[in-house]
Amino acid sequence: MNLLQEMQEIRVRFAPSPTGYLHIGSARTALFNWLYARHLNGKLILRIEDTDLERSKKEFLEEILDSLKWLGLNWDGEPILQSARLDIYRKSAKQLLDKGLAYEAQGEIRDKEGNIIKNSKRITQKAIIFKVPQKIITINDLVHGKIEIDSSTIKDQVMIKSDGFPTYNFACVIDDTDMGITHVIRGDDHISNTPKQLLFYEAFGFKAPEFGHVPLILGKDRSRMSKRHGATSIREYKQAGYLPEALVNFISLLGWAPGNDREIMSVTDIIKEFDIKNVKSVNAVFDTDKLNWMNSEYIKALDVNTLTPLIKEFLDKEDLEGLDELNLKKIVKLFTIRIKTLGEFKQEAGYFLKDKLEYDAGQLLKLAQRPAIKENLIKFRDTLSGLNEFTILNTEEALRNLAKELNISAGELIHPSRFILTGKTVGPGIFDVFELLGKDRVLKRFDRALEKI
Ligand code: GLU
């Protein structure tokens, strides 16, 4: 960084269009801008590009703001809405008209099939169109390096449409200038817009910001990330029980790396190390397995008092019936290392939550096929029923003593017991299960199963 840059306040912006939920790609753009601003003590401006009246929805805007807040990506000042700035765009376009750099034309509005909609009420004025000068345009991209474009490939650019609304490229330049934006960090899909925007900067005599175009995010099959690859919006990840800290960590590594192979990083460390210049110019691959691993690491790192209320948000009232806070915490503790998302808890630990257990009776019979198994299980049930205390230690002692007495391995009692009590063949330590289910439920489940065998 040179002295001038050091003295200049860094101002970046995130400019979503409220035409859909915040998806992973946009969230990454927001995150990189936020990291850049926070790293350099600059400002992040939130600009809402809502000039597409038909597609922009209040619901989407609210959700975008909620998702940003949930991820912890705060912005400076109030969000700026383009729809409130129409006069400014019009006045600016007139300046280029006055300079002879633009012309007016009777605009047309076409429907989706390309037919001109005649007498449309939306044609309120002539369109203002920028005359594209012939020249070679150079972008010194912070990620891709030098890119040259011949403007003869660019047709004249509409600035203000016949309906009075600005085009994206035009409004973007006016806004980025008014908002004092120093660095534009956005997706590669905007590279083709940048030369058009640079021509506007030149026509107005404005200083252009620096540009950094961030490569696309691909699915594991190397095609562009889409619904086919699973959840694409931040909202879906929140609903599935990913932690915002894990998601921020994971998304930060989509195209960026700290340079020392570190993966699990606190947001403070990411801010400290982030530099747009270290963003790779090759496309990033979204690896759901890696995200799941990372999320499980973040879950493991939480203490039970923090994790329990988070998990509770994924449970219904009836799941919690008859379960006191202490027992719930014990169950949560048992599953901390076994769940990849908060949402998985209900499915994995369901047998602790419901009084009645559903399982596949066929599988139970298969487990019980060995000779004398029923007899042994009846004996075990009676041993359990005779226990005064129903703890991890007592139940383990009872089981091992009985196995010795019957001259069988402990596993011959443990495996069917696990299925009878949980409906699953794997899970946390069986003696934890005994203690946490409690004597009543354990005996009931044994009785029910023994009737079937
Ligand atoms: N509204 C544009 C988008 O959502 C913003 C592009 C830009 O950052 O200039 O893609």
Residue type, 40: L
CB neighbours of residue 448 within 10 Å: 14
| Active-site annotation holds for 227 | yes
Pocket test for ligand 1, best of 49, 167, 173 (most atoms within 8 A of CB): 49
Q: How far is the CA of 102 from the centre of ligand 1 (A)?
A: 24
Beta-ladder partners of 46: 14
Q: Given this model, what pLDDT does residue 247 score?
A: 98
* Class in CATH terms, 85-214: alpha beta
Q: How far is the CA of 68 from the centre of ligand 1 (A)?
A: 16
Q: Which residues contact 94 (CB under 8 A, 6 or more apart)?
A: 128
- Tokens coding 267: 């947001």
Q: Given this model, what pLDDT does residue 125 score?
A: 79
Q: How far is the CA of 286 from the centre of ligand 1 (A)?
A: 21
CB neighbours of residue 108 within 10 Å: 14
Residue type, 367: L
Q: pLDDT tens track of the chain, all 453 residues?
A: 555 555 789 999 999 999 999 999 999 999 999 999 999 999 999 999 999 888 999 999 999 999 999 999 999 999 999 999 999 999 999 999 999 999 998 766 555 566 665 556 666 678 999 999 999 999 999 999 999 999 999 999 999 998 899 999 999 999 999 999 999 999 999 999 999 999 999 999 999 999 999 999 999 888 888 878 888 999 999 999 999 999 999 999 999 999 888 999 999 999 999 999 899 999 999 999 999 999 999 999 999 999 999 999 999 999 998 899 999 999 999 999 999 999 999 999 999 998 888 888 888 888 877 778 999 999 999 999 999 999 999 999 999 999 999 999 999 999 999 999 999 999 999 999 999 999 999 999 999 999 988
- The architecture that CATH gives domain 355-453 is Orthogonal Bundle (1.10)
Residue nearest to atom 6 of ligand 1 (CA): 15
Residue nearest to atom 4 of ligand 1 (CA): 16
Domain ranges of the chain: 3-80+216-290, 85-214, 303-353, 355-453
- Tokens coding 145: 């390096």
Is the shortest distance between the CB of 398 and ligand 1 below 6 Å? no
Q: Does domain 3-80+216-290 have CATH number 3.40.50.620?
A: yes
pTM summary value = 0.92
Is the shortest distance between the CB of 13 and ligand 1 below 6 Å? no
Q: What is the CATH number of domain 303-353?
A: 1.10.8
Shared fold status for 85-214 and 355-453: no
Q: How far is the CA of 21 from the centre of ligand 1 (A)?
A: 14
- Tokens coding 20: 């859909």
Q: Given this model, what pLDDT does residue 124 score?
A: 66
Residue nearest to atom 10 of ligand 1 (CA): 16
> Which residue has tokens 């019957």?
406
Burial (CB count within 10 angstroms: exposed 0-12, middle 13-18, buried 19+), residue 154 = middle
Is the shortest distance between the CB of 15 and ligand 1 below 6 Å? yes
The catalytically annotated residue of 99, 126, 131, 227 is 227
